[in-house]
Amino acid sequence: MKLGTSGLNTAPIALGCMRMNDLNKLEALRVIETSKEAGITLFDHADIYGAGTSEEVFAAALKESVVKREDIILQSKCGIRNGFFDFSKQHILSSVDGILERLQTDYLDVLLLHRPDSLMEPEEVAEAFHQLKESGKVRHFGVSNHQPYQIDLLKQYVKEDLIINQLQFSLMHTPLLDASLNLNMQNRESVVRDAGVLPYSQLNGMTVQAWSPFQFGMIEGVFIDNPAYPDVNKALQEVAETHNVSKSAIAIAWILRHPAGIQAVIGSMNPDRIRSISEAQSVKLSREEWYGLYRAAGNNLP
């Protein structure tokens, strides 16, 4: 798949490195190489993951790996500080310098602004992005957890394309879909919680990256094999047996089936699980399977 309007091509699954600070260098090396063998080339970081140590562990492991820097896409995020958000020019520039130092690289392929900053001055963001682009420190830009009008506000000032919006999305967390399927209804599913960001992304050529693809609620827990969710697990098992893959792979295949071209960001640090989940890339669910899973997750159709 292509990332947004950029020339970057990658697999429909990316690896989120939030938990990499829990690994030693050898374990991280296995995760990186297993991911690359499975076709995963985009590695997603943030300056707050492990207070920066996740980036350091990744860099130390990559240095010992057969995987080359130029063969992967390094993405990181900034903007979250201790109890508040900061999209000031100074903070963005200093954050990127810290990220590059920890990742031991001269450039980021993609920089995302993390959660929205209500005190954002878009002129400052534009100046920071332009300086980072001109210096070669960052090649592409995007956002995370932003709604359409926030993105449009940035676009009034930022000259560079915004190619990605990273949003929470899973079979058990579907606000991106619910209201559009329940237009003009008076049920709970009709409440607009997403500001129409999914069709907005499609119309504007932005790639949606789905984070926490195995979580329910606001990262309250994993729904796979969770006894609190027997219906969705039963449905996942049935579809998994049909396609001869794991339930986790089907949960990812459900995300990938959407025509918006969503990229799933998985966070596993288990090489066997990464290989198993990556089999989702060879599965295309039928409409019956896709809607069946959506309904098994507790959603009603009008």
> Which residues are part of the catalytic machinery?
49
d(CA 192, CA 188): 9
CB of 200 within 8 A of CB of 157?
Answer: no
Note the Cα 271 to chain centre separation in Å.
Answer: 19
The contacts of residue 270 (CB under 8 Å, 6+ apart) are none
Give helix then strand counts, H and E, for the chain.
11, 10
Neighbours of 201 (CB within 10 A): 22
Q: Give the type of residue at 279.
A: E
**H helix or E strand, kind and range, residue 126:** helix 122-135
**H helix or E strand, kind and range, residue 168:** strand 162-168
Sign of CA dihedral 13, 18, 21, 23: negative
Name residue, tokens 């995760």: 31
